[in-house]
Structure 1
Amino acid sequence: MRAADARAQGLRPYALIRGWAVASDGSGGLTRPEVAGQRRAIERAWQRAGRSPADAALFECHGTGTAVGDPVELQALATARGAVTGTAAAVGSIKANIGHTKAAAGAAGLIKTALALREGVLPPTTGCRTPHPLFAGAASGLRVLADGEPWPDGASRLDGVSGFGFGGIDVHLALSAADEAPAAAATLSETQRRWLRSAQDTELLLLAAPDAAALDARIASLAACAAQLSRAELVDLACTLSAQADARLPARAALLASTPAALAAGLARLQAARARGETALSDPQAGVFLGIREATAAPPRVLLLFPGQAAPVRSTGGAWARRYPEVARLYEQAEVPAGDPASTAIAQPAIVTASLAALAVLERAGLRAVRAIGHSLGELLALHWAGAFDAACLLRLACARGRVMAEAAPGAMASLACTAAEAATRIAGSGARIAARNGPQQTVIAGSEAQVTRALAQAGGGVRLPVGHAFHTPAMAVAAAGFAQALAAEAARGALQPTVCGYASTVRGRLCPAGTAATTLLLDQLSTPVDWQGALAEALDGIDLAIEAGPGALLGGLVRAQSAVPVLSIDAAGASLAPLLGALGAAWAAGCRLDARALDADREARPFPADWHADFLVNPCEAAAPESAG
């Protein structure tokens, strides 16, 4: 419709088509797209619009995801835009959301960009985990977005849409908002934020029933339709199931699925397990969990594990911050320092912040632990969990601890595959000391570079650790003195309190009761060995499930080396939500009384109807009667 006619009828345009053009790839055709043809279409459309493609903040690409087509399209866009100063243009393709709709693909892209112009939002680039090398550096003038953004401050609301057809036909449209005035400085509205944070890389589907027969029937009902769902309907189903999940019911199952096909496979796995009479199943790799318990059974007892310096160092909240607003706020407030991740001054605040993110999301999910244990730096987190100090104090202590440890004398550490007693014998006389008892066959030693070199030679080898200091030895005495000042400052402001519940201390190698004071433990910890093995043995007593509540998965391996208790690592602040959702799925199937509704309460989804069935449109060409012969 013409803009003037629309306004005369009282209709508000979503966007205006300012220019359009059609070009051809010539002999390129379907299987060999050409940069020149696509570039001609782009340049002609923007010339007709009276603007330059360099003025656009967003481009909706044809984007079929092919090894030939995508690089050609990116080169055509980059060369048409020329040398661009300022913010690079965002690119995306709706095919990553709904697939290739063939003849309707261009219309779908047009609708997407018109909505982006109306809302003043640059949409995230769906499904692009590894950007093409052509995006590297500022030269391309193009970028992919992990998150949606407000339209750039001061930029005109202009975007372009490309659509390429069979036979080498190239079409490009230059669009503007109905009001093309430059965008004012803006932030995303709460509604827009809610839509943007609804996306997850995988879905957790929770089932609960009063008995095994009812659970079997629910699994069968879902299995009958799972493969026919769209990805959007998979989200709708997951959110609907979360809202319906009743934590009081004893027959449960949980599945992780990133696609309808994965859901169908998981349901088939559950059906096979039930056909064999199984009442319990936990397969984190496949994302399939089953637990049928007595209605009177007590909830499982959960242990939280907090990692130390060896955990991954992340300065941002990753997929967690994009999905959970409490994690995004945490990272904004924590101001995690950037720099060399090997430095304790950088690593320790980052690891603590990620573990706080884990606690925040587990709190949202309603998961309650009965005990906690932390390795090295993780002792601070275990004390925080036990009520010795709040999150703000914890972050200040992590920063202070990391800073004073970074200033300590240089040193080295190594891991030996033997017991602590054997290690003591092997390194005797080298000057190196035992720094951590990590398990039955894992002992860490530390000392000066020369001392550790001698110790490894005497021990017949070992694995050097990527650290530059001799942690948990007397070499940390100077650091302990500096940390004592930080603890004294926290005590003076009343931030340190006795613990309100028991926890397992790797400083003492045992359970510490409620009422434990933190100061002496934290000072002793810097220069005495970590007794993870001893503390873990007591921490695991009576535990049904252990969850590593921090970045990485190192502690899970240490638990498996010492116990048969199931353990899952949630890899806090990582690039995927799958480890977190898998742990929650395992906890649900084990009988934990999670707040399932809270998991998806802040997501945008449609109710999934109980009587859902697939509807397909009939292609009139295929429905036509065949012509008679002759």
Structure 2
Amino acid sequence: MTDIAIVGIDCRFPQAPNVNALWDLLLAGGDGITAVPPQRWRARDFYDDTGAPGTVNNETGGFIADADAFDLEFFGIAPREAQAMDPQQRLLLQTAWRAFEDATLDPKAQAGSNTGVYVGVMANEWNVQMSDLARITPQLGSGNGYFMTANRVSYTLDLKGPSIAVDTACSSSLVSIHLACSALRAGECDQALAGGVNIAITPALNVFYTQAGLSAPDGRCKPFSGNADGIGRGEGVALLVLRRLDDAVADGLPIRAVIKASAINNDGRSNGITAPSRWAQQTVIGETYRRAGVDPARIAFVEAHGTGTVLGDMIEVKALGNFHATTRSEPCGLGSIKGNLGHTEGAAGVAGVIKAALALQHKMVPPSRFAADENPRLRLASNGLRIVDEPLPLPEGEVFAAVSSFGLGGTNAHLVLASAPTVPEGQPGSSFGVVTLSSNDREGLRRNAIDLAADFESAPADGLGRLCWSMNVVKSSGRHRLAFVVNDRAEAVAALRAVDRLDDSIGVAQRVKVGWVCTGQGSQYPGMARRLAERHSVFRCALTEVDEHMSPQLGRSLLELLAGAGHDIDRTEFAQPAIFAVEYALARVLSGLGIEPSWLLGHSIGEYAVATRAGVLGLDDACRLVAARARLMQQLPRTGSMLAVRASRAEVDDLIADEPTVACAAVNGPGDVVLSGESAAVRRLAVALAAAGHRSRALTVSHAFHSPLMEPMQAEFNAIASGCAFDVPRTPVYSTLRGRMLLPDEPMDAGYWTEHIREPVLFAAAVAAAVATAPTHLLEVGPKRVLLPMIRRSFPDNAAAQLVPCPGPDADGTELAATVAALYRDGLDPSGTHSMTRPHGSERG
């Protein structure tokens, strides 16, 4: 049977507004039972401890705080429609969104996917609105009904798989999980949301339980206790994101636990339509173990239905005892979450699954509330069971658990869970993250920061990556934005609580238009981009990809070259391939983060990274050309020099007219040129320039690039280039060979790249044309900050923000994160397939 992975969880239960809070409540043995909130109903109006007709025998229950709170604008729902919606629909929408986020999936990106929605729901007390016929509207009609609980989620999130509401009373949500697993195994959907919801709007079911003799006078379920005397009602909403296990592993999703098998059946004609049947329960439990292929002796604990009714507890223990009494050396742990939350009815089964999944994940079974008063008449020990009365550690390795849920009308469900498989881990991921937060106004941003601080504080110590991943990639964003880099959880909490002092980290979203400039030769250094590679696994993966294509061309490992402390990196034959590799890897990371270029521009060898990013060259051909270019240049006689001159091109052209071995190699700005040629001639020009009042500086280079001295290699290079495939750019390219944007019919072919070796780099002209498009940000893609200062010097009036994800040898590796933070503050919504802060072990190459 195909294993199903639980990859995401979100829930709200009494005194437990999220998964972490629920775990804390369970581990502490606490409960969420309180007095009936006055906004539900006046409990005193219905209370009568004698159980008279039409009354209830308690005034308590487990209630969700702010169950009516709903951000209608976030979900694009009109006020009139939102007001008419059953609160259960509203809660499910919010829970579905957060469950996807917990699975590190972008909720928006699920639109159009083959995702099924299976919702267990037992009560539709909102339907009382339909009793006033004169008030019925189209919105009220679509806001009611069991069917719409699932359909509302599918419609709003545009999910195309099956959409089914399930009502089997108390077993509804476990049956919905069973149906979702069956659909995944059958290929009816590739992903599923499954769970349940229960909100007590009226005291109707309280009256029913009281009149049926099922209601506990103190409003508390006391599972398997000698004091068990009935049901106490509870509210809840919870959804799981389910995937086939192989798919979850392949996609690098976090796995909470694995569903091995499940089964459902019905009591049939028993001793009463509301009375449980031991024999039917035995059958469904046995069938589940058979499907899972798990010996009952290997079940570490059972999360039981455990309502706390004397009859129900007795029958359940006997049914379980049929499998555990004689097959075990040690008793099976037993407990029920209903002691903590009350009977959450339509959400009861999924509550039990979440408790069991968290126990498997944390290797600890929380104590069952009221365990200290175990009912001796249940004879748990002789049935191979023991109630978990204190936290129960679980062994390492694969551990199994079971969950039961039995419906009031006889529909039974049982499920077997296993701990998550161990997934081989790669190199460590980032030890820092980008905290992002947004709101539609500044005050909302402040409130959200306070709430987020609490989330960080309650998260596991190693949970920084998961929280940052969710915020950076899967959260929708408002106009006012906060973003900053943190190194650990404590730093994030402190910063968020001091949000009023974070003005530099707060921005207002505008249209973002990013121009990329790729650095040329001269930017290399030993240990190039080392810290970036240490802290970003996706960057490492991209470097490895280049290494596979480039190393055969070089005759040595490119990765070893980049990591080395020696000066081989300064040799032209290695410098150019290394620069290309860093720029290619950076481009992969930036694009994966959703930072896409509006246009591309490269300086000399940097234009190869531009061409690869624009789709002109495939990686294999790019590596072949870069390696050939570098090798052929290295083989030329070392008789040339280069000179940086503070002068205009017109001012140097007259001087070099009488020096045929010298050319203007680059025009980097209106008063910033580079001369290149035979060394003696360059020295003569330096003297002449000084006499004319022009400052100059000799560059440390091995050869006279972009000069007549390059001509001897051009024919051989052209022959190699002619064997490569070239496509048209898919992103606008501002060519530094042409000094302008390439036209649609201008190829970057073998002839282009051959000419590129000898002709000058018209950087200033290309930049002038590019910045005329009014980019909001300029981003230097390369191993060191080189080009952006030149642009600022030449174009001081340009207002574009300048960002450098790898500024040079002193970089600490967080600059890429700071780049993402700056762009987010200004309006970028990261939407890529990977993130620097994806949870450990979940990177995609």
- The residue type paired with residue 487 of structure 2 is S
SS in 2 for 1:577: coil
Determine the structure 1 residue equivalent to 2:689. 459
- The aligned runs of 1:4-23 (5 Å cut-off) are none
Structure 1's 227 and 459: CA in aligned 2 closer, same or farther, altered over 3 A? farther
Determine the structure 2 residue equivalent to 1:560. 792
| CA deviation string 1:332-375 (max 9, x = no partner) | 41335447222221111111111110111112212211210000
| CA deviation string 1:116-151 (max 9, x = no partner) | xxxxxxxxxxxxxxxxxxxxxxxxxxxxxxxxxxxx
SS in 1 for 2:720: helix
Determine the structure 2 residue equivalent to 1:569. 804
Report the alpha carbon displacement of residue 327 of structure 1 after superposing the two structures with TM. 2.4
SS in 1 for 2:673: strand
- The aligned runs of 1:9-408 (5 Å cut-off) are 191-194=423-426, 196-200=427-431, 202-221=432-451, 232=462, 234-235=464-465, 237-242=467-472, 245-247=475-477, 249-258=478-487, 263=492, 271-272=500-501, 288=505, 290-293=506-509, 299-313=511-525, 318-322=530-534, 323-325=536-538, 326-327=541-542, 329-333=544-548, 334-335=550-551, 336-337=557-558, 338=561, 340-408=568-636
Indicate whether 1:514 and 2:744 are aligned.
Answer: yes
Report the alpha carbon displacement of residue 557 of structure 1 after superposing the two structures with TM. 1.3
How far apart, in 1, do the equivalents of 2:526 and 2:744 lie?
A: 32
Determine the structure 2 residue equivalent to 1:581. 817
SS in 2 for 1:524: helix
Aligned residues: 394
How far apart, in 1, do the equivalents of 2:808 and 2:544 lie?
A: 13
Determine the structure 1 residue equivalent to 2:205. none
How far apart, in 2, do the equivalents of 1:272 and 1:324 lie?
A: 33
Moved more, 501-510 or 216-225: 216-225
Report the alpha carbon displacement of residue 427 of structure 1 after superposing the two structures with TM. 5.5
How far apart, in 2, do the equivalents of 1:391 and 1:573 lie?
A: 25
| 8 Å CA contact retained: 1:207, 1:241 | yes
Indicate whether 1:591 and 2:820 are aligned.
Answer: no
Structure 1's 600 and 456: CA in aligned 2 closer, same or farther, altered over 3 A? closer
SS in 2 for 1:397: helix
How far apart, in 2, do the equivalents of 1:360 and 1:314 lie?
A: 22
| 8 Å CA contact retained: 1:314, 1:350 | no
Report the alpha carbon displacement of residue 428 of structure 1 after superposing the two structures with TM. 5.9
Determine the structure 2 residue equivalent to 1:546. 778
- The residue type paired with residue 782 of structure 2 is G
| 8 Å CA contact retained: 2:468, 2:837 | no
How far apart, in 2, do the equivalents of 1:572 and 1:235 lie?
A: 24
How far apart, in 2, do the equivalents of 1:395 and 1:597 lie?
A: 25
Report the alpha carbon displacement of residue 592 of structure 1 after superposing the two structures with TM. 1.7
Match of 1:487 among 715, 721, 727: 721
Structure 1's 528 and 498: CA in aligned 2 closer, same or farther, altered over 3 A? same
- The residue type paired with residue 714 of structure 2 is A
Structure 2: any 5+ residue segments left out of the alignment? 1-420, 552-556, 562-566
Determine the structure 2 residue equivalent to 1:529. 760
SS in 1 for 2:482: strand
| 8 Å CA contact retained: 2:543, 2:582 | no
Structure 1's 424 and 238: CA in aligned 2 closer, same or farther, altered over 3 A? same
| 8 Å CA contact retained: 1:316, 1:331 | no
Report the alpha carbon displacement of residue 317 of structure 1 after superposing the two structures with TM. 6.4
Determine the structure 1 residue equivalent to 2:702. 468
Moved more, 552-561 or 261-270: 261-270
Structure 1's 485 and 215: CA in aligned 2 closer, same or farther, altered over 3 A? same
Determine the structure 2 residue equivalent to 1:177. none
- The residue type paired with residue 554 of structure 1 is V
Percent identity between matched residues is: 23
SS in 2 for 1:489: coil
| CA deviation string 1:67-112 (max 9, x = no partner) | xxxxxxxxxxxxxxxxxxxxxxxxxxxxxxxxxxxxxxxxxxxxxx
How far apart, in 2, do the equivalents of 1:315 and 1:392 lie?
A: 24
| CA deviation string 1:39-81 (max 9, x = no partner) | xxxxxxxxxxxxxxxxxxxxxxxxxxxxxxxxxxxxxxxxxxx
| CA deviation string 1:505-550 (max 9, x = no partner) | 0000001123431123211111111010000111122211111122
Report the alpha carbon displacement of residue 500 of structure 1 after superposing the two structures with TM. 3.4
Determine the structure 1 residue equivalent to 2:417. none
| 8 Å CA contact retained: 2:600, 2:731 | no
Larger radius of gyration: 2
Moved more, 434-443 or 259-268: 259-268
Structure 1's 422 and 271: CA in aligned 2 closer, same or farther, altered over 3 A? farther
How far apart, in 2, do the equivalents of 1:552 and 1:417 lie?
A: 22
How far apart, in 2, do the equivalents of 1:426 and 1:266 lie?
A: 59
Structure 1's 479 and 301: CA in aligned 2 closer, same or farther, altered over 3 A? same
Structure 1's 589 and 190: CA in aligned 2 closer, same or farther, altered over 3 A? farther
How far apart, in 1, do the equivalents of 2:822 and 2:762 lie?
A: 28
| 8 Å CA contact retained: 1:317, 1:327 | no
Report the alpha carbon displacement of residue 465 of structure 1 after superposing the two structures with TM. 1.1
- The residue type paired with residue 553 of structure 1 is R
| 8 Å CA contact retained: 2:736, 2:762 | yes
How far apart, in 1, do the equivalents of 2:597 and 2:463 lie?
A: 33
Determine the structure 2 residue equivalent to 1:422. 651
- The residue type paired with residue 246 of structure 1 is S
| CA deviation string 1:598-629 (max 9, x = no partner) | 315742399xxxxxxxxxxxxxxxxxxxxxxx
| 8 Å CA contact retained: 2:778, 2:800 | yes
How far apart, in 1, do the equivalents of 2:528 and 2:651 lie?
A: 41
Determine the structure 1 residue equivalent to 2:670. 440
- The residue type paired with residue 512 of structure 1 is L
| CA deviation string 1:363-417 (max 9, x = no partner) | 2212211210000011222222222111111111100111111122321012112
Report the alpha carbon displacement of residue 573 of structure 1 after superposing the two structures with TM. 10
Determine the structure 2 residue equivalent to 1:285. none
Determine the structure 2 residue equivalent to 1:496. 726
- The residue type paired with residue 304 of structure 1 is W
Q: Scaled by the length of structure 2, what TM-score is found?
A: 0.43
Structure 1: any 5+ residue segments left out of the alignment? 1-188, 275-280, 282-287, 607-630
State the structure with bigger RCO (CA 8 A, min sep 6), 1 or 2: 1
Structure 1's 521 and 456: CA in aligned 2 closer, same or farther, altered over 3 A? same
**RMSD after superposition:** 3.3
Structure 1's 221 and 426: CA in aligned 2 closer, same or farther, altered over 3 A? farther
Q: Scaled by the length of structure 1, what TM-score is found?
A: 0.56
Match of 1:413 among 631, 639, 642: 642
